[in-house]
């Protein structure tokens, strides 16, 4: 005998009607071939994140110690992976060099880009989307680090507005990182 429990069990909160994603402002055109000599490819690894960014929710920092999340705002996947793909697309478009994924990394890691995504959310006090990325680049035995940050005003703290502002801020940071790699 089987008993259905569909009316009795809930497996978490109801997901929002729309999920947020990042879209690169610059990409290479379909059909574009890129090739470089050994050691000249770029590998973009998934950045590390603090605990507040380890979920698919959009954090709002209020004050020095409080964090809340934007109601009805949720990413399609964790921000670290979204940012890694956006960064890869923008770097490939702006540098003209092939960017290898984590699975292709063993072909020829060349220049390796990684780091920590320190902020990827909303600052309530300034009403702005904030993306802060502490980049680390390894070229052979040389290592360089640099902090990148973009702030974009938000008209209101709701899903659609924060998604657009964070996408714009992430693209600004990606362009700056790509230009640093040239």
Q: Which of 102, 124, 125, 122 is nearest to 112 (CA)?
A: 102
Token pair recorded at residue 25: 């402002």
Task: Kindly state the helix (H) or strand (E) to which residue 43 belongs, with its residue range.
Answer: strand 42-44
Residue 11, C-beta contacts closer than 8 angstroms, at least 6 positions apart: none
**DSSP3 helix / strand / coil % (the chain, rounded to 5):** 25, 35, 45
Rounded Cα distance, 176 and 149, in Å: 9
DSSP letters of 89-110? Answer: HHHHHHH-S-EE-TTTTTT---
**42-181 CATH fold:** Rossmann fold (3.40.50)
> Tokens 């605990």 correspond to what residue?
51
Q: What does the domain layout of the chain look like in residue ranges?
A: 42-181
Beta carbons within 8 Å of 78's beta carbon, 6+ residues apart: 49, 53, 54, 55, 56
* Rounded mean pLDDT for each run of 10 residues along the chain, 182 residues in total: 47 78 96 89 96 96 93 95 97 94 78 96 97 95 96 96 98 98 92
Residue with tokens 């924060």: 162
| Number of neighbours of residue 118 by Cβ within 10 angstroms | 18
Q: Are 122 and 154 in contact (CB under 8 A)?
A: yes
């Amino acid at each position: 005998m089987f008993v259905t429990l569909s009316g009795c069990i809930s497996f978490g909160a109801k997901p929002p009607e729309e999920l947020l994603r990042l879209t690169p402002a610059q990409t290479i055109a379909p059909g574009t071939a890129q090739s470089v000599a050994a050691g000249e490819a770029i590998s973009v690894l998934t950045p590390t994140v603090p605990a507040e960014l380890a979920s698919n929710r959009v954090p709002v920092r209020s004050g020095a110690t409080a964090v809340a999340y934007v109601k009805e705002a949720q990413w399609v996947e964790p921000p670290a992976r979204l940012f890694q793909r956006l960064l890869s697309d923008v770097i490939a478009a702006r540098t003209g060099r092939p960017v290898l994924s984590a699975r292709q990394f063993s072909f020829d890691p060349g220049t390796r880009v990684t780091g920590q995504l320190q902020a990827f959310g909303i600052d309530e006090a300034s009403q702005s989307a904030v993306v802060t990325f502490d980049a680390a680049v390894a070229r052979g035995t040389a290592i360089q680090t640099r902090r990148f940050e973009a702030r974009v005003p938000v008209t209101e703290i709701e899903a659609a507005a924060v998604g657009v502002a964070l996408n714009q801020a992430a693209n600004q940071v990606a362009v700056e990182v790509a230009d640093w790699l040239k």
